Structure 1
Amino acid sequence: MTEPVPPAGGVPTATYRLQLTPEFGFDAAAGLTGYLAELGVSHLYLSPVLQAVPSSQHGYDVTDHTRIRAEFGGEEGLRALAARGLPLVADIVPNHMTVPVPESANARLWDVLQHGPAAASAGWFDIDWADGKVTMPVLGDGVDVSAEVVADGDVLRYHDHEFPVRPGGGGLADQFYRLAPWRTPPGYRRFFDVSSLIGLRVEDPEVFEATHEVILRLVADGVISGLRVDHPDGLADPRGYLTRLRERAPVWTVAEKILIGDERLPADWACDGTTGYDALNMVTRLFVDPAGAAPLIDLFTGRTGFPRDYDTVRYEAKKQVLAQFFGGEMDRLTRREPELRAAMVELLAAMPVYRAYVVPGEEPPAETVKVIRAAADAAAGRADPALVARAAELVLSGPAETVTRFQQTCGPVMAKGVEDTALYRWYPLACLNEVGGEPDHFGVSAAEFHEFCAGMAPYTMTTLSTHDTKRSEDVRARLAVLSELPAEWAAAVDEWSRQVSFDPKLDYFAWQNLMAAWPISTERFAEFLYKSAREAKTSISWIAPDAAYEQGVREFAARAIEVCGPSVAAFTERIDACARVNSLGQKLVQLMMPGIPDVYQGSETTDFSLVDPDNRRPVDYAYRRTLLGAGGDSWDADKLHVTASALRVRSRLDPVAPYAPIETGDPGEPGEHAIAFARGEQAVVVATRFPAGLARRGGFGAATLTLPPGRWRDVLTGAPHTGRVPFAHLLARYPVALLEKE
């Protein structure tokens, strides 16, 4: 096997992700560099830094590629941050820009709206100019355009929106755009179903250069040492884009690519790996007891009325979002052969992954052909088989426009149909409902986990929490315990539901997340449930609000905490000893498995956050800084100790150190409650699994672990070990061990 070649700029040993905001910019980040260096990370990983909407809390709504964001401190502030000694990894957004309000804040878009297809910036955006106009969905329901859209010199205004008047143009009908109701599909490719984010044509060399000029200059100057590429599946040619990027910026680069099941990153993508959702889901499942699957599914279906079959729920969700949100995309995809619309819809609904890797004019990879054929077989049972076959052939070897459009539509349909719909409907155990997750796959064996790790790219990113995770790692650690205690959990839910109820399709979801995020304020919990109900789209949605239902959600949240809070707190307290074991175990495994580990802001201690924006709240770094120096005897102190110890070992570990499984025991033996592996001849990792079951059997007893040859020291306790060691001795202080060779 050829040894992997690192990018020219080298690779981190570990990264730390910060969410920059107008309130927390480069100066604030600079104040953390000493703490983060002491924690043990090698690189600081920043959310997007180019100019975005001034009030943006995330930065993915870029307005100007020529400037570093002023609210953060501008380029001067970024350079000063880099000078503090921690190399920087930047999150870049090649797929889209924002359609701001007012629209004049995006100069490139303004140029296109004013001058149409002949504009200097016309090549920037993926616009449908079929009839010479681009549809802009900004109008409220029942708007009288003639009364509410007013002329103001060379600008047309509608509330806070503003649009340019074309040279020589008069009224609204004379423009290169049409204003349409807000539910109307826009006349441009967008990010998922978000009409306020307009797709870029970064495959055009001129657009690539203009949108990357600042980032490439900062890479060349050594200010930026690594890149994270947002949503490459949205691009017309992700392979070509990554190749061009690597040529111009030969630094460590990871792509936000969601992989499903056994899917692997294409070998011809010029990047070092993914942003880690594949690793996250494998680590989560490692701590979920598969024995809990049947009783938890029984409990879920009995309480919600949803079917046992997740595939059915996923299919129905994808069909719903295709009908509600992606009409415009389907129009463009089937414009040449409109009779294929139903077949294309079914083919998209049947696709199991976010993208089919077909490059127009090239022979598609065998795995891609297999995926498309399997989807076509499924679709043929729901649409005309001959038309489905024709659609599949077009997707594999048809005109470039069709091949590319289909691939660019796969991701949004998966994201909105699965991530943002099905995963809010089918949730027997919500820790499995993560980005890229498969909630019907309960648990993985140690052998399956070892096999996954053996196939990992050495420089890919690994993570447990991100700015996009639906539940933080410690929320998932608590939920995983339920897989070991389904009867006790069912009794608790029954007690709470007798006292407070609202909507069967939401209540059970609410109880899981209330318990796992406890303690939580009524406001945070209500906002989470409100968003979740809209995502599920069973009673309300973002495009079909219902004031009475929404008020009911908020009242349920308040009553659940007021009436059942003490009982929820007591249940959480009972399981937290086990949740702590899961929390420390998954953290150590993620930090020491193959790949470059990322620590999301604040997750070096316990963090019980829910979906964004809850997981982007400010972090109390003063507390963490004090705890790092003082230590203590708490879950927070233990997690920080495990994190810092592992990061320091990683700084001394060869990133391509081989991964070697260590036998812990056969199923049915005490050792099955542990996972162990070595990294080369330098480090050994041991973590406890299924702690509730381990406690029921009375602990590890006399079970032992045989260490690799040599003398080893547990960096967590300082204890020396060699040869055959009883688990009970090795894991006496912590439920995990991290051994370094002396």
Structure 2
Amino acid sequence: MGAVTSTYRVQLTPEFGFRELNDLVGYLRELGVGSLYLSPTLQSVRDSQHGYDVTDHSRIRDEFGGKKGLLALAGQGLGLIADIVPNHMTVPVPESENAPLWSVLREGPDSPYADWFDLSWPVALPVLGDDPELVVDGSVLRYHDHEFPIRAGTEELPLAELLAAQHYRLVSWRDSPGYRRFFDVSSLIALRVESPAVFDATHEVTLALMAEGVIDGLRVDHPDGLTDPGGYLRRLRERAPGPLWVEKILMDGERLPPDWECDGTTGYDALNMVTRLFVDPAARDKLVRTFTRHTGVPDDYERVKYEGKKLVLDLFFRGEVDRLALSLGEPGLRDALVELLAAMPVYRAYVSPGEPPDEEATRVIQSAAWEAAAHADPASVATVAQLVLRGPAEAVARFQQTCGPVMAKGVEDTALYRWFPLACLNEVGGEPDRFGVSPEEFHAFCMEMRPTTMTTLSTHDTKRSEDVRARLAVLSEIPDVWAGAVESWAGAVRFDPTLDYLGWQNLMAAWPISPERFTKYLLKAAREAKTSISWQNREQGYERGLREFAEKAIELCGYSVASFTAVVDRYAQVNSLGQKTVQLMMPGVPDVYQGNEITDFSLVDPDNRRPVDYVRRRELLRDGGDTWDARKLLVTKTALNLRKRLAPDLPYLPIEAGEHAVAFARGDQAVAVATRLPYRLERRGGWHSETLRLPAGSWLDLLTGAEHTGLIPMAHLLCRYPVAILERNTR
């Protein structure tokens, strides 16, 4: 297989497997897709809609069509990129569906799978509710739908003695488990892939398919959870020479560790930069004032972020912190450890046990220690910082593995649901207090990008789809108009001030949306924010009130919201086409998330994993038109097919285009131009006499068929579309 020119991410489900995807290959090939990028394909929980809850690494998922179906898909000729999950397996219900785990629970340390999982004996299993009605059924212990193996020879013991004799302990569902897990999800148990035997067993099927040429490349889920991400990637690269991307969240200014043997990230760093490019930073103060007035939340995002991390450390990660504190080898350091975890500015500082920390890791942890010293004894903080840099191997590893979950739950799933002056900035890896970037900043970012890294605008994990964000970006150009609209809506319907303002942003940006979809989003947002309810404490009265708010907001304000959105869409379409053009033409391998070749107004999962209407997309591809959908499809098809004709490592060359456009060349072969801040552009009267100087030669605009050379008036270049995709004319 040659270089991957682009990918198209597909969420496989029991209802949409290999056979259904087979039927789309012709459409996707015409669209210009280079490779299919599949969600996890190994056997998982039978009704799973995402596949990250793997139960069996030895087979391709039956519900998708098994290995036979995968081979048929591969035979269609499009390259296949597989999403693999090395960090964890699921703890299914019933538990017997995970054979390695069942063996471990039955046989304890004598199980051939005892080294698979990062756990402590006896293993605490958080499953019990308020009615611990346990039933002994032969060699199985049952609790509602749960089932657990009974240790041989203990079946006839009285219940209390039988429970005490097992290799596990059943505890309250609110308690921490006796195993490392994925974030705070107790139904996902961490794997020890640093063990060669575990690595081989869990990767055997995937690597065999790569050796056979069935799978061409890999996407690695959450490598930050592993004991040694760099070592894991080196081992994987030895047997997987094809493209290899990592789901790594990079904060502003952060770079991938230089020793990671991979092609780059899955694109959140690019996503956040592209989003900011279409946000007007001049509106920051007004939007923050509107936000604080409606919510009562402080204007200091750093404070909200710190409080979110401290909350989840106490709420979710007591067990992890206790084990980590014990591994430090010195008493009395727990409070300092908590503060150091809360102060970490990134998902992980890469320190390997037994190896001296590099300069960057030392800088990150020492910087966090300086922040933490304001909240705990400075001497204790300094001691903890040294121990997690150069101390016991277990302490070094566990600290690294705890940082990511604290960031993910404290920031992604708490702070970003509490601080949202402009919600399009509240994306994974985003900094919602950083309003916008200039074209110059964006160019500097692109000039440092690897040509092999992935870029994206929407994923199965984004909190809002790209077109929802395109609408929200318009608010940065009309902060006063927006403030008036929200004042009107909030005057008609109120519920929870800490949530309502987020609700109004998303109601407008996802419009039209049903009361059911809107309610589901608000319920998730409220539970993640943890200000009134949470996933652990679902208060029925509050949730009933929230449902009533969602229904009344649409009933009483829907006409006004629809009218407001219709005006916003004149400018949101410009943002939508612009960010699509930029993402598909900038350095890297562009990924298109399923269905987003036309407009998609989805919110956070599971909303963004709904079935895609491919009949409509096929019709648009065949018939065209001048709607927003047709224009976005044209831009996507044009750019993806052009990328097939371009070398992936063509230089990125900025082109001066003024405040209201971003433009760049890819070597001497292609040029991309996109309008930005369209509302202000319109208010000033349009392009006037602004021009753009094309590189030497003749250029064909692939969207319009027009030919251009030299100095072109912007009003002429962008008279039909707000973007231009040009290819050197060799005729």
Q: TM-score, normalised by structure 2?
A: 0.98
2:239 maps to 1:248: yes
> Deviation per CA, 1:642-693, whole angstroms, max 9, x where unpaired?
00000011000110000010011xxxxxx31000000001000100000000
* Structure 2 counterpart of 1:564: 557
| Separation of aligned partners in 2, 1:54 and 1:11 | 35
Amino acid at match of 2:643: R
Which of 39, 52, 58 is matched with 1:66 structurally? 58
Deviation at residue 530 of structure 1 after TM alignment: 0.4
> Deviation per CA, 1:536-570, whole angstroms, max 9, x where unpaired?
00000011110000011110000000000000000
CA contact (8 A) 1:360 1:403 kept: yes
* Structure 1 counterpart of 2:214: 223
| Separation of aligned partners in 1, 2:368 and 2:695 | 46
Deviation at residue 10 of structure 1 after TM alignment: 4.1
Amino acid at match of 2:94: P
| 1:264-303 equivalences in 2 (<5 Å) | 264-303=255-294
* Structure 1 counterpart of 2:149: 164
* Structure 2 counterpart of 1:392: 385
Which of 665, 672, 680 is matched with 2:659 structurally? 672
| Separation of aligned partners in 1, 2:678 and 2:403 | 40
* Structure 2 counterpart of 1:681: 668
| Separation of aligned partners in 2, 1:90 and 1:337 | 44
2:35 maps to 1:17: no
SS in 1 for 2:216: strand
2:129 maps to 1:151: no
Deviation at residue 172 of structure 1 after TM alignment: 1.2
* Structure 1 counterpart of 2:679: 692
| Separation of aligned partners in 1, 2:719 and 2:180 | 57
* Structure 2 counterpart of 1:92: 84
* Structure 2 counterpart of 1:136: 125
* Structure 1 counterpart of 2:649: 656
| Separation of aligned partners in 2, 1:674 and 1:310 | 30
Amino acid at match of 2:464: R
> Deviation per CA, 1:320-371, whole angstroms, max 9, x where unpaired?
0000000110011011334111111000000010001111122212111111
* Structure 2 counterpart of 1:371: 364
| Separation of aligned partners in 1, 2:614 and 2:91 | 35
> Deviation per CA, 1:356-396, whole angstroms, max 9, x where unpaired?
11111222121111110110000001011111001000111
Amino acid at match of 2:688: G
SS in 2 for 1:334: helix
Unaligned runs of 5+ in 1: 1-8, 665-670
SS in 1 for 2:712: strand
CA contact (8 A) 1:10 1:251 kept: no
Amino acid at match of 2:57: H
| Separation of aligned partners in 2, 1:365 and 1:404 | 15
| Separation of aligned partners in 2, 1:128 and 1:353 | 28
* Structure 2 counterpart of 1:732: 719
SS in 1 for 2:556: helix
| Separation of aligned partners in 2, 1:458 and 1:706 | 25
* Structure 1 counterpart of 2:528: 535
| Separation of aligned partners in 1, 2:377 and 2:111 | 43
The percentage of aligned residue pairs carrying the same residue is 69
2:95 maps to 1:103: yes
Amino acid at match of 1:138: V
* Structure 1 counterpart of 2:167: 176
| Separation of aligned partners in 2, 1:326 and 1:361 | 26
| Separation of aligned partners in 2, 1:709 and 1:316 | 55
* Structure 2 counterpart of 1:702: 689
CA contact (8 A) 1:343 1:388 kept: yes
CA contact (8 A) 1:658 1:680 kept: yes
| 1:179-578 equivalences in 2 (<5 Å) | 179-335=170-326, 336-578=329-571
Which of 26, 44, 49 is matched with 2:41 structurally? 49
Which ranges of 4 or more aligned residues in structure 1 deviate by more than 4 Å? none
Deviation at residue 115 of structure 1 after TM alignment: 0.8
| Separation of aligned partners in 2, 1:672 and 1:313 | 33
| Separation of aligned partners in 2, 1:693 and 1:79 | 52
CA contact (8 A) 1:423 1:433 kept: yes
Deviation at residue 574 of structure 1 after TM alignment: 0.6
Amino acid at match of 1:333: L
Cα 1:297–1:280 change in 2 (3 A) is same
Deviation at residue 11 of structure 1 after TM alignment: 2.8
* Structure 1 counterpart of 2:598: 605
Amino acid at match of 2:714: F
SS in 1 for 2:620: helix
| Separation of aligned partners in 2, 1:723 and 1:233 | 48
SS in 2 for 1:100: coil
| Separation of aligned partners in 2, 1:26 and 1:340 | 52
| Separation of aligned partners in 2, 1:441 and 1:546 | 34
Q: TM-score, normalised by structure 1?
A: 0.97
| Separation of aligned partners in 1, 2:106 and 2:48 | 26
| Separation of aligned partners in 2, 1:709 and 1:629 | 35
Amino acid at match of 1:77: G
> Deviation per CA, 1:85-111, whole angstroms, max 9, x where unpaired?
111000000000000000000000000
Amino acid at match of 1:687: A
| Separation of aligned partners in 1, 2:318 and 2:83 | 31
2:698 maps to 1:711: yes
| Separation of aligned partners in 2, 1:215 and 1:317 | 38
* Structure 2 counterpart of 1:3: none
* Structure 2 counterpart of 1:6: none
| Separation of aligned partners in 2, 1:337 and 1:272 | 40
Amino acid at match of 2:669: Q
SS in 2 for 1:282: helix
> Deviation per CA, 1:245-273, whole angstroms, max 9, x where unpaired?
01011110000000001000111101000
> Deviation per CA, 1:556-605, whole angstroms, max 9, x where unpaired?
00000000000000000011010000000000000000000000000000
Cα 1:731–1:90 change in 2 (3 A) is same
Amino acid at match of 1:447: E
Unaligned runs of 5+ in 2: none
